[in-house]
Amino acid sequence: MLTLKIKKIGITANIEKEKIADHVRSLKKWLEDKGVKVFLEMEISRKIAHSNGWKWNELARNAEMVVTLGGDGTMLRTARHLAGHRVPILGINMGNFGYLTEVNLNEIHSTLELMIQGKFLTEKRMMLDVVVKHGKTVSHVGSVLNDVVINRGDLSRMNELEVEVNGAYLTTYKGDGLIVSTPTGSTAYSLSAGGPIVFPGKDLIILNPICPHTLTNRPIIFSDDANLKITLWSKDRGAMLTLDGQRSHKIKSGDAVMVKRSKHPIMLVLSPYRSYAEILRSKLGWGDLPPGAKKRKNA
């Protein structure tokens, strides 16, 4: 448990959410009444017509914690911008709680009361760095918290994806594509494609084929020091490389996508009211706690 009392909080939000401007104004006032200095990210600042918005790098340097209001997509975007800054991120879900946004809207004040007092837990989450090699050109295209996906886009032909691990040839996958995910992303697209659920406390890399032509192609879990090189061999117009479901890049036959653990993890603030196991039960419909089982107590 951290004991640092929080006096500076940054706020970012999904500006498309209904009544988000009202929620941000209310939260800003509530925090300031508690003696907390508030920094609004530029986009949400414009949404509420506030004159003093902060760029992402400024937000990261000045805030002691960043609160996101939205859903898991908002958290993914925030993680991408704050990667490397080690600023704890608290996710507030504007609907039902998510895998990443663990705190519900009706819990926001009680949760932040604990944060302000320094009574909270954080968990380090690994990210992946993604590099694309096209001929002699090597480009860093970004980092992800959830997953890297290579798929055929809107084409109907199979992709051929040659995979090397730490310089050694593994196999060539034929099918719709591949998902490379972190444990955090194991409950996202990878889960829908038949991948394993991996508790996010460990640094591991999951390689999961999408609709493989060969049925013996199964998900593989690598240690965090694995360097993956995935080369596309395709006779048609190429494939799509997608980062966290939010950014896409076109790749061509012969291009290589290299994925490895990022040196810059992020820190997520854990819900004081529910464990990761409870989140899984709720999201996956596994049923209620058995008699005598205990829920997480306030941090």
Residue 298 has pLDDT above 60, yes or no: no
Residue 135 has pLDDT above 60, yes or no: yes
Tell me which of 72, 147, 176, 244 is the catalytic residue: 72
Amino acid, single-letter form, for residue 247:
R
Q: pLDDT per residue over 94-128, tens digit each?
A: 876 678 888 988 999 999 999 999 999 999 999 99
Amino acid, single-letter form, for residue 227:
N
Domain boundaries, the chain: 8-125+265-284, 128-261
The beta strand positions in the chain, using DSSP E, are 8-13, 37-41, 53-54, 65-70, 88-93, 103-104, 122-125, 128-134, 137-144, 147-151, 159-165, 168-175, 177-181, 204-210, 220-223, 228-233, 239-243, 247-251, 256-261, 266-269
Q: pLDDT per residue over 273-296, tens digit each?
A: 988 888 888 888 887 767 666 665
Q: pLDDT per residue over 24-72, tens digit each?
A: 999 999 999 999 999 999 999 999 887 789 999 999 999 999 999 999 9
% of the chain surpassing 70 pLDDT: 93
Counts for the chain of helices (H) and strands (E), in that order:
7, 20
Q: What is the DSSP letter of 166?
A: T
Taking the C-alpha atoms of residue 299 and residue 114, their distance in angstroms, rounded to an integer, is 8
C-beta of residue 237 within 8 angstroms of C-beta of residue 150: no
Amino acid, single-letter form, for residue 185:
G
% of the chain surpassing 90 pLDDT: 75
What is the mean predicted confidence (pLDDT) over 64-92? 94
pTM of the complete model: 0.90
Would you say the C-alpha torsion 38, 43, 44, 48 has a positive or negative sign? positive
Residue 299 has pLDDT above 50, yes or no: no
CATH homologous superfamily of domain 128-261? Answer: Probable inorganic polyphosphate/atp-NAD kinase; domain 2 (2.60.200.30)
Taking the C-alpha atoms of residue 61 and residue 42, their distance in angstroms, rounded to an integer, is 15
Q: How confident is residue 267, by pLDDT bands cut at 50, 70 and 90?
A: very high
C-alpha triplet 11, 13, 17: angle, nearest 5°? 150
Q: pLDDT per residue over 9-27, tens digit each?
A: 999 999 998 899 999 999 9
Q: What is the pLDDT of residue 107?
A: 93
SS3 content of the chain, % helix, strand, coil (to 5): 20, 35, 40
Name which CATH class applies to 8-125+265-284.
Answer: alpha beta
Q: Is 203 a catalytic residue?
A: no
| Of 200, 185, 156, nearest in space to 259 by CA | 185
CA 94 to chain centre: 17
Angle (deg, nearest 10), helices 108-116 and 20-33 = 30
Residue 78 has pLDDT above 90, yes or no: yes
